[in-house]
Amino acid sequence: MKYPVGKEAIEEKGWFLAHRFLLLRRFVQLGVLALFLAGPLFGLWIIKGNLSSSLFLDVVPMTDPFVALQAFAAGHLLETTAIIGAVIIISFYFLLGGRVFCSWVCPVNMISDAAHWLRRKLKIRTSTKLSRKTRFWVLAMALVLPIGLGTMAWELINPVSMFHRGVIFGMGAGWIVLVGIFLFDLLLVEQGWCGHICPHGAFYNVLGRYSPIKVSATNRDKCHKCMDCFAVCPEPQVLKMPLFGENKGFSPVIKSADCTNCARCIDVCSKDVFKITTILPNKAEV
Amino acid sequence: MSSSTTYQPRKMSRRQLITDASRGLCGVGLLATGLAGYAKQSQSLAAQCLRPPGALSEEDFLAACVRCGLCVEACPYDTLKLGKLFEPVTTGTPYFDANVIPCEMCEDIPCQEACPTGAISPELESINDAKMGLAVLLDRETCLNTQGLRCDICVRVCPLMDEAITLEVQRNVRTGHHAMFIPTVHSDACTGCGKCEHACPLPEAAIKVLPLDIAKGELGKHYRWGWVEKDNAGGSLIDEVLDLPDRLPEGD
């Protein structure tokens, strides 16, 4: 990269517009944490529990479907409350696009984004190769292990649950795992945790496969190949065909379920190539 | 656009498929082995860790608890904590250390009410039927009562006084003319709330609450208590001992 990523977009649109989705995303991520923390810290019980399972306004149960599946695999049939909670969360993330959890809610995203940012700043180019499909193997493992062991083995080390739980109930030694992820992403594998290993993300990937809300390279004819979107995208492989595959018959809609709908590509593009769209009515744009 | 220019997805060769699959299996297999070992270890509960009232048996509990902490937030006395990484209790699961804060035995059992998964079983109806653990008078050499003094604190703080803990009177052979009042726990009534351990005035409690599978012995299945069987049968199951007439030395 010859110049800082997104510089052109900042010059074209102004700093705020070139960071609006990033700011919004951080606002949502921290806002979710703040909502959970308001109870234990200030006695403001809007939501109780944590991302694994929670109760909103003392009425609406929410349960992480991946954790619920692990409990099921471990041989426990959850009470109705938890099942209703899982259905609510499944519908929510199915509608919004599966891995929208990863970029807009999951607290680990802030760690991996920080590592990715520092990687660009320090110009660390070397990276160990790891298949992006590894996460599906890990997902399979996380769901098979409990069948034999009768306990949710993955939840012993799941950094997603550990981080969120740690912020609310006390981190203990859990920060070691988080530092580990940061260093792994920074020095070993680019986007290593979220893009290659995390089974939580893999689960939401599977869930969001046919989600209606997608990012689309609607104005791809305006693209002048500055490659800024590739530099910031946590899953850059999803951009290639929608951007450059027109003559191969590819639609501009980023259909890959790897896409986290983080919309950072919209931010850094000075030509307004990308838009958030729905796949249902072909032309509708949000 | 002619059909020759339309995109054909690249086909994966069989060799590629087998290589990828075995690589994935090996890597994840290794991870799984390590994780399975860790998980196995984490399935036994440390002695000082007690589960909330109504918790399923440890094995089922670990399958059912989603580590959400709703029970922790529901507990009005801050009794429950969540296990952290490298602590002797499974990461993220609720427990309490009776020595620090015991269970206050709320009648409405708010932790049970809060549990969304049934890991804290909704089948527990009265807190007095809870089996969080069992109090054991572990150290009879430091317990003040067993030395013939009158402490009795554990008995008096017990929410089920004279049911879960009673004082059994014994002769004090040291002085020869006093009694000793030995705190005695009855497992059928003890809920394992831990108030006795918490209140014990010794710097290190002589009475401690242990998880049930640590505290309880188990009788061999073939074993019968003769006196119970006698009561059940309404009489001795074996013939009475032959009672011969007593012969006394003849007087003169």
Helices (H), chain A: 7-13, 20-42, 65-73, 80-96, 100-104, 108-121, 134-149, 159-169, 175-183, 192, 199-207, 228-232, 240-244, 264-268
pLDDT score for B155 = 93
Predicted confidence band at B10 (pLDDT cuts at 50, 70, 90)?
low
Q: What is the pLDDT of residue B199?
A: 93
Mean pLDDT of chain A: 86
Which pLDDT belongs to residue B203?
Answer: 94
In degrees, rounded to 5, the angle at the alpha carbon of residue A153 between the alpha carbons of residues A152 and A158 is 95
Alpha carbons B17 and B118: distance in angstroms, whole number: 42
Q: What is the pLDDT of residue A283?
A: 52
**What's the confidence (pLDDT) of residue A134?**
86
Q: Note the pLDDT of residue A190.
A: 87
Mean pLDDT of A180-194: 90
Least confident stretch, A5-19, A69-83, A105-119, B206-220: A5-19
Test the A interface: residue of B45, B81, B96, B117 with most A CBs within 10 Å: B117
pLDDT per position as a tens digit, B88-146? 888 889 999 999 999 999 999 999 989 988 899 888 889 999 999 999 999 999 999 99
pLDDT at B4 over 60: no
The whole-angstrom distance between A5's CA and the closest CA on chain B is 31
Q: Which residues of A are less than 8 Å from B72 in CB distance?
A: 169
**Residue of A149, A154, A176, A244 to mutate when probing chain B, most B C-beta within 10 A:** A149
Cα-trace Rg, chain A: 19
At residue A280, the pLDDT reads 65
Alpha-carbon gap, residue A141 to B25, rounded angstroms: 9
Yes or no: say if B124 and B109 are a contact pair by the CB < 8 Å rule.
yes
Average pLDDT, chain B: 87
Mean pLDDT of A207-228: 86
Of A49, A134, A249, the CB nearest to B24: A134
Q: Do A53 and B36 touch (CB under 8 A)?
A: no
List CB contacts (< 8 A) between A82 and chain B: 66, 116-118
Inform me whether the pLDDT recorded for B2 exceeds 60.
Answer: no
- Of B43, B73, B122, which has the smallest distance from its Cβ to A151's Cβ? B43
Q: Chain A: nearest CA to B227, how far in angstroms?
A: 41
Contact between residue A79 and residue B122 where contact means Cβ atoms under 8 Å apart: yes
Q: A54-63, B188-197, B243-252 — which is least confidently predicted? A: B243-252
Return the pLDDT at A103: 92
Which residue did the predictor score with more confidence, A225 or A283? A225
CB-nearest partner of A161 from B35, B67, B70:
B67
Give the count of alpha carbons within 13 A of B103, CB side only: 36
Q: Higher confidence at residue A26 or residue A133?
A: A26
The model carries a pTM of 0.81
Q: Which residues of A touch B114 (CB under 8 A)?
A: 48, 55
HSE-up of residue B248 (Cα within 13 Å, Cβ side)? 3
Higher pLDDT, B97 or A124: B97
pLDDT at A237 over 80: yes
Residue B79 contacts A where some CB pair is shorter than 8 Å: no
Q: What pLDDT score does B7 carry?
A: 53
Residue A286, pLDDT above cutoff 50: no
Instruction: Work out how many CB contacts closer than 8 A connect A with B.
Output: 176
Q: Which residue of B has its CA nearest to A58?
A: B114
Q: Is the pLDDT of residue A282 over 70?
A: no
Tell me the chain A residues in contact with residue B38 when contact means C-beta distances shorter than 8 Å. Answer: 153, 156-157
Q: Which of B192, B187, B233, B235 is nearest to B211 (CA)?
A: B192
pLDDT band, residue B252 (cuts 50/70/90): low
B6 touches chain A (CB under 8 A): yes
Residues 25-54 of B with CB under 8 A from A: 25, 27-28, 31-32, 35-36, 38-40, 42-43
- Residue where the block lists tokens 């008995």: B155
What phi and psi values does residue A117 have, to the nearest 5 degrees?
-65, -45
Q: How far apart are CA A9 and CA A12, in angstroms?
A: 5
Q: Given an 8 Å threshold on Cβ–Cβ distance, is A76 in contact with B68?
A: no
d(CA A123, CA A219): 30
When pLDDT is averaged across residues A100-105 and rounded to a whole number, the result is 92
Closest C-alpha among A181, A208, A207 to residue A195: A181
Task: Kindly report, residue by residue over B45-83, the tens digit of the pLDDT.
Answer: 788 889 999 998 888 888 889 999 999 999 999 999 998
Instruction: Examine the pLDDT at B1 and tell me if it is beyond 80.
Output: no
Q: Name the percent of chain B lying above pLDDT 90.
A: 44
Contact between residue A284 and residue A247 where contact means Cβ atoms under 8 Å apart: no
Report whether A121 contacts B55 (CB < 8 A): no
Using CA atoms, how far apart are residues A259 and A249, in angstroms rounded to an integer?
20
Average pLDDT over residues B6-26: 75
